[in-house]
Chain A
Amino acid sequence: MAVKKDLSIEYLGVMCENPFFLSSSPVAGNYDMVAKAFETGWGGVFFKTIGIFVADECSPRFDQNNKAGVPWIGFKNMEQISDKPTEQNFEFIYRLKKDYPDKVVVASVMGSNEDEWRELGKMAEQAGADMIECNFSCPQMTSHEMGSDVGTNLELVEKYSRAISSVTKLPVIAKMTPNITVMEPAAIAAIKGGAKGISAINTVKSITNLDYENLTAMPVVDGKSSISGYSGTAVKPIGLRFIANLASCPDLKGIPLSGIGGIETWNDCLDYMLVGARNVQVTTAVMQYGYEIVKDMINGMSHFMDERGIDDISELVGLALPNIVPAEDLNRDFKVIPKIDQKKCVGCGRCYVSCYDAAHQAIDWDSKKRKPSIDDEKCVGCHLCLNVCPVKDCILPGEIKWKEGRKQKEVKIKENYL
């Protein structure tokens, strides 16, 4: 791992060693865990949410969705905020900050009324945390005074943000729930209440699998189950969408965003940064693979920056936003006809089946030679075939055809597919 790049980035007035953080969750629940994560290379931690309320947990509490050979496409978690005493958690934070002064420690907190929020804010500052994240978004709390029910109530978001901001000089961050149609109003409410940053997304309310033995959802707790938060690779597209929305919102201009949801690799991090996140938070991939994954995030990101000649990682923040536009603004004057590399084609016929059954019957199938060919007239350029083809570079974008009467000009297309 020869390439070394400076990945440091400023976030809410604090210089962070890199943009890779653990999110407030089971992966950041005590001193030893976080110390190990810091030693492994994580830039900072959003410590597991602390409340006056101490959680009483169920067993078992996790489930996962998989496709054969690909485990944990999605992950379901029924664990609530910390099940440790409030004081003990702040003591962990105090010691972590003392032993790792260069790492960033964010105290994630959750109260059930204004007094609790104020009390937690004071304790976090006393413990020496760098900043405070308000958890307005945990979908599996046993109390409706807390969690995602609060996050969807704009009035409460603003009120609690104000309560905690009023007692501390530390920057306050509000963590949003995705269980909402649009996120901007809740984020704006938090900022109005005094929050300085926004994190998104917390987990998505879900039922992962049904259990046929007990006729309930998974996991099975004494024959019953509950709807609870879904995370992992499957939710990354949802997280990216919300971050892009927040980053493009004029009322939130300049508010630093922390991206969460389905991050496993350096390019997952990069994706979040390109749509406007200044840093990222990770849980599910750590639950599956451990803290070590950060090493390939650091190195992979360094290689990418080296490749692009970028020395300051903050240059990446929001770089793709200008090119993510409303559907009505897309150029609809042309179609890109795919081309099939007959030498690479293995003759499975999947493109033919998909084009016939799900698109525009634009692929002819030579059943003797087992070869597909594209009918340019019928093809609408949807690229379903390209997406279904199992062979690398066998089907790629080809000729550009202009719709009748449309003005031709130079267009940009994607050329390289992995």
Chain B
Amino acid sequence: MSKVIKKRYTEEADYGFDYRTAREEAMRCLLCIDPPCSKGCPAGTDPGSFIRSIRFNNIKGAAETIRKNNILGGSCARICPYDRLCEEACSRSGIDKPIQIGRLQRFAIEQEKALKMKTLKAPKKKKPFKVACVGAGPASLACAAKLAQEGYQVTIFEEQEKAGGVLTYGITPSRLPEHVVAHDIKMVKDLGVKFVFNTKVGRDVDLDEMGFDAIFIGAGLWAAKLPDIPGVDKEGVWTAIDFLRKARIEKEKFQPGDNVIVIGGGDVAVDCATTAKLLGSKNVHIVYRRTIEEAPADMKEFKYALKLGIGITTNMAPAEVLGGKKVEGMAFKGRDGVSELKMKADAIVFAIGQKPEDMTAIANVKVTEKGTIKAGRNGKTNLAKVFAAGDIVNGGQTAVEAVAAGKDAADSIIAYLSKKEGVK
């Protein structure tokens, strides 16, 4: 019998460090010159500096470094794919295994909260410019935080009732607890950024009429994809977004059924599967149409799913949803053209990616064939006063990359508004 982890939906998946274990881990750091780990972080969180601070007993300094460089430092510490980023770059790997950078970052941010630190400040005297950010996900939050620190007046418009975007509605709380996201968002609020919830730009409000000097679109990808196969309209078929959001809101009251199949190979698919398992579903299975090697999900997330007792089947593509009005099962066709698979299911979750909603409803921006916004790495769109970054531009990457892009876009907005300031 294999030992399977049994946890509640909101129970944390992983342990953190305390003062002693954090310093012990930091002691393993080789304190590299020109640290490769720091280069490995897209958002410039600078692990080389904050690990050094922990190593030399300057915990507050460590928290300061993280928060200054990455407004979502607490959330990124939990969900970053370090094994492909900072930890992959770690020189210590040449001796045994990399420093647990994510866990050290988590520790420093936990200390920031415990010690009630106030790292970031917005100037009292505001600049005479108002910026609107569309969406309250990682890209917008990062952009807004940077602008607010420079004295700009920022308002974030969010369709949902809470901020965080994918952090709040798209990841299981065991991996990213709500209080962690809330603490990060508080840092943004404390900078004086205004949040307008339950408001969809283009539907409920028109930014053009509201007199904003610049607009940032960090709307993310929130239109679900469903495959074009028979039976996807049956009761019990879920899109990943709806499934995760329902779980986030209803918590353990949400019971998706005993037999749950999740289709997909990304982190979102794994999150759907672990969510179902943690909510109490007995048989949870991930089915992916390619191989594990081709799957975009983090290996550590797959391993966690396996530890929870979730099965993973590869090289099987969805062919038909079976059942009457309600879902009863799912038929798959093998990539080899020979294999076939039929599985019983009470619920089927499609986690096969998300699409952009109609961005032209927000502003007259140029979009790609896929509907994402055409923007440069600096966040500039075809419209001088409109900027965009994050998933809505890159088609769906990690939160830390959205933070990086949001920061870069803020720089472009500052440059744009600084020119106008000369005129005003």
Which A residues lie at the B interface, using CB under 8 A?
A: 67-70, 345-350, 352-353, 365, 367, 370, 390-391
Contact = CB atoms under 8 A, between A and B. Distances in A.
Given A370-B36, A390-B95, A68 B30 contact: no
Contacts of B94: 345-347, 391
A69 B91 contact: no
Contacts of A350: 30-33
Which of B20, B23, B93, B94 has most chain A Cβ within 10 Å? B94
Given A68-B26, A367-B34, A370-B36, A347 B20 contact: no
A362 to B, nearest CB: 16
A19 to B, nearest CB: 34
A347 B27 contact: no
B11 interface: no
A70 B20 CA distance: 10
Given A346-B94, A349-B33, A367-B34, 11 more contacts: A68-B23, A68-B24, A69-B24, A345-B94, A346-B30, A346-B91, A347-B32, A348-B31, A370-B36, A390-B30, A391-B94
B92 interface: yes
B58 to A, nearest CB: 13
A348 B33 CA distance: 6
Contacts of A349: 32-34
Interface in B26-54: 26-28, 30-34, 36
Interface of B: 20, 23-24, 26-28, 30-34, 36, 55, 91-95
A68 B27 contact: yes
Which of B23, B30, B33 has most chain A Cβ within 10 Å? B33
A352 to B, nearest CB: 6
Contacts of A67: 27
Nearest to A389: B30
B33 A346 contact: no
A353 B52 CA distance: 15
15 contacts: A68-B24, A69-B27, A70-B27, A346-B30, A346-B92, A346-B94, A346-B95, A347-B36, A347-B91, A350-B31, A350-B33, A352-B33, A353-B33, A390-B30, A390-B95
Contacts of A347: 32, 36, 91, 94
B35 to A, nearest CB: 9
Contacts of A70: 27
B379 to A, nearest CB: 30
A256 to B, nearest CB: 41
B32 A348 contact: yes
Contacts of A365: 33
Contacts of A68: 20, 23-24, 26-27, 55
Given A346-B91, A346-B95, A370-B36, A69 B23 contact: yes
Contacts of B36: 347, 370
A139 B206 CA distance: 81
B193 to A, nearest CB: 37
Which of B23, B55, B93 has most chain A Cβ within 10 Å? B23
Nearest to B26: A68
Contacts of B20: 68
Which of A347, A348, A350, A391 has most chain B Cβ within 10 Å? A348
Contacts of B95: 346, 390-391
Given A370-B36, A390-B95, A391-B94, A348 B23 contact: no
B378 to A, nearest CB: 27
B57 to A, nearest CB: 9
A371 B94 CA distance: 13
Contacts of B33: 348-350, 352-353, 365
A67 B33 CA distance: 22
Nearest to B32: A348
Contacts of B34: 349, 367, 370
Contact of A348 (B24, B26, B30, B55): B30
A348 B34 CA distance: 9
